[in-house]
Amino acid sequence: MDVRTTLKQGLAQLRDAHVPSFTLAAELLLLHVLGRDRTWIYAHPEEEIAASDAECYFELIARRVAGEPTQHLTGKQEFWGLEFEVTADVLIPRPETEHVIEVALDRLAVRELRAGRPQKNDGAGLQIADIGTGSGCIAVALAKELPRAAFVATDISSAALTVARRNAARHQVADRIRFFECNLLDGLLSSAAANAEASVVGAQHAAPLAQTEASRQASHQSPVTNHRSPLLDLIASNPPYIGRREAPTLMREVREHEPEIALYGGEEGYEFYADLIAQSAAHLKPGGILVLELGHDSLPAVQPLFDTPTWTNVSITNDLAGIPRVLSAERL
């Protein structure tokens, strides 16, 4: 069977099964099996495909028809122009989360301008946290944009952190991101202690978030941060924000295949934000920036949490569908 016929058959099977974006899925699965790029496929429609490749392709098509996400079958998803490994242990990075990166970079640039420094910011001296890192997409994308910044990335799922570490290594930023298994930010202290040895590895790059062992012992402070002298310049997070009551309305590939812990924020969905915002207030430096992704209906519940003397310059950014998607604010 040649390339064109194989693709046509795969596409027809997905279309008949009402798979969303069936053309793209059929193409991506064929590219994956053949190890080729899209240009090659369309330049070689008559090329014969090995029987074993065709068999493998139609097995993947059958799994996609049965509801497995394309990204679980190919093991990857692009985010911010970078390819991320994806497994069933992590949320598949979504295009709307790229707004978190845009807003974070914009707000850092504005802060630099206000301070009279050049707008082009390489992140020197910045200490940044990604809470609920999943695949690591936010921390890794920011680390690529800010090549001199230091990062912590937390997740409650150790399986997700394993994938995030591999993605950091794949993009050569592992020496600047320290990963912690904890609840939001509040386990950083104990996790950091448990990882004390790891935290001093690559100390030249990764240590800006950590004090030296000597100064830590002297002050009895967390190696990452503490409530008396917060150290973070930026916290970015895409927390779980879907309401459990919405579960029946989710697409099957999401509901049945993505990790529940990454999807659901609680019965309503917005339950994570109050804790996340309170902890962020305690960990950000004055002038530090918080950037949060919002669920499609989270804004009315989340915005009032910023009506306190703690926060200023609260700003909302819509996604391409016009949904308020990112809330950012500055710690006073």
Residue 106 in contact with residue 47, Cβ under 8 Å? no
Nearest CB to ligand SAM, comparing residues 4 and 257: 257
Of 208 and 239, nearer to ligand SAM (C-beta) is 239
Q: Between residues 48 and 267, which has the closer beta carbon with respect to ligand SAM?
A: 267
Amino acid at 257: H
**Of residues 159 and 332, the one with the C-beta less far from ligand SAM:** 159
Q: Which stretch binds ligand SAM (CB under 6 A): 44-52, 150-158, 200-208, 248-256?
A: 150-158
Positions 176 through 195 that interact with ligand SAM (CB under 6 A): 183-184
Give the one residue of 134, 223, 243, 269 binding ligand SAM; rule: CB under 6 A.
134
Nearest 5 degrees, angle CA 59-CA 91-CA 37? 50
Among 137, 189, 234, 284, binds ligand SAM (CB under 6 A): 137
Q: Looking only at residues 286 through 315 of this chain, which bind ligand SAM when binding is defined by CB under 6 A? A: none
Judged by CB under 6 A, the chain residues 97 through 126 that form the site for ligand SAM are 97
The binder of ligand SAM chosen from 19, 128, 160, 290 (CB under 6 A): 160
Segment interacting with ligand SAM, rule: CB under 6 A, options 144-152, 233-241, 301-309, 310-318 = 233-241
Q: How far is residue 6's CA from residue 66's CA, in Å, rounded to a whole number?
A: 19
CA pair distance 266, 59, nearest whole angstrom: 36
Task: Kindly give the residue spans of alpha helices, DSSP state H, lying in 78-237.
Answer: 98-114, 137-145, 158-170, 188-194, 196-199, 203-206, 213-219
Which positions from 234 through 263 interact with ligand SAM, judged by CB under 6 A? 238-240, 261-262
Contact 241, 293 (CB under 8 A): yes
- Choice between 183 and 313, CB closer to ligand SAM: 183
Which of 80, 38, 77, 73 lies closest to 56, judged by CA? 73
Q: Minimum distance between the CB of residue 7 and ligand SAM, rounded to whole angstroms?
A: 30
Count of positions on this chain that bind ligand SAM (CB under 6 A): 21
Q: Which stretch binds ligand SAM (CB under 6 A): 61-69, 105-113, 132-140, 317-325?
A: 132-140
Residue 308: Cβ-neighbour burial (10 angstroms; 0-12, 13-18, 19+):
exposed
Angle at CA of residue 88, ends 84 and 192, nearest 5°: 70
H or E stretch at 234: strand 232-237
Is-contact 276 284, C-beta < 8 A? no
**Segment near ligand SAM (CB under 6 A); pick from 16-24, 91-99, 105-113, 278-286:** 91-99
**C-alpha to C-alpha distance for 283 and 226, rounded to whole angstroms:** 7
* Count of beta carbons in the 10 Å neighbourhood of residue 158: 10
- Kindly tell me which residue out of 10, 26, 64, 93 binds ligand SAM, with binding defined by CB under 6 A: 93
- Please state the φ and ψ torsions of residue 311, each to the nearest 5 degrees: -120, 150
Q: Does 157 bind ligand SAM (CB under 6 A)?
A: yes
Cα–Cα distance between 305 and 311 in angstroms, integer? 9
Report in angstroms how near the CB of residue 280 gets to ligand SAM at its nearest. Answer: 13
Residue type, 85: E
The CA-atom distances, in angstroms, between 17 and each of 68, 90, 150, 166, 308 are 13, 26, 46, 34, 51
Figure out which of the listed residues 6, 154, 226, 279 binds ligand SAM, where binding follows CB under 6 A: 154
Shortest Cβ 303–ligand SAM spacing (Å): 20
Residues in contact with ligand SAM by the rule CB under 6 A: 91, 93, 97, 132-135, 137-138, 154-157, 160, 183-184, 238-240, 261-262
